[in-house]
Amino acid sequence: MKNKLEGISLIVLVITIVVMTILATAVVLSLKDQNVINDSYELGFKNDITTFKEQLDLYIKDKKVSSISEGERYSEQKLNADSISATYSGQNITNVSNILDIISQMKKSKYSNSGQKFKVQNGELVYVESKVTSSDEIKWLADLSVKASNEE
């Protein structure tokens, strides 16, 4: 009777480990080159800013429609808001205390202090230069045509 050994040999095990190590290294290097984490942060950031701009547009359009029914004309250039106040033509807006009431999505944004980093200036969403310090965020804001404001 022959003794038959069953199982895998040590050589097969070593070869399998070497192949898996090479594959794992290739995956890590390809992910590093693509910078997946930064790309996902960029997409999320740009999505939030686009949502902020859309909400501001909806607010302005709603005010224009309301003013027409009241026989007036709403001018978005007179709208200003920041983290402290919201004004139209220099007067406080009724039922609106600050930018977070105009752009409510800022409350839900995962990017910290959105209400302090942005403001509405002459009816347009702008970022506060002193509050946005990330060079990536500044570049992304420029990609979305969001201008800087020197004022706090």
CA 127 remoteness from chain centre = 12
pLDDT value of position 27: 85
The band of 12, judged by pLDDT with boundaries at 50, 70 and 90, is confident
pLDDT value of position 3: 67
Q: Are strands 118-121 and 124-128 parallel, antiparallel or unpaired?
A: antiparallel
For the stretch 37-83, pLDDT in tens is: 778 889 999 999 999 999 999 999 999 998 888 888 999 999 999 98
pLDDT value of position 2: 62
Least confident of 28-42, 82-96, 113-127: 28-42
Strands laid side by side in the 118-121 sheet = 91-92, 86-88, 79-81, 118-121, 124-128, 147-149
For the stretch 103-125, pLDDT in tens is: 998 888 876 577 789 999 999 99
Distance, CA of 152 to CA of 130 (rounded, Å)? 7
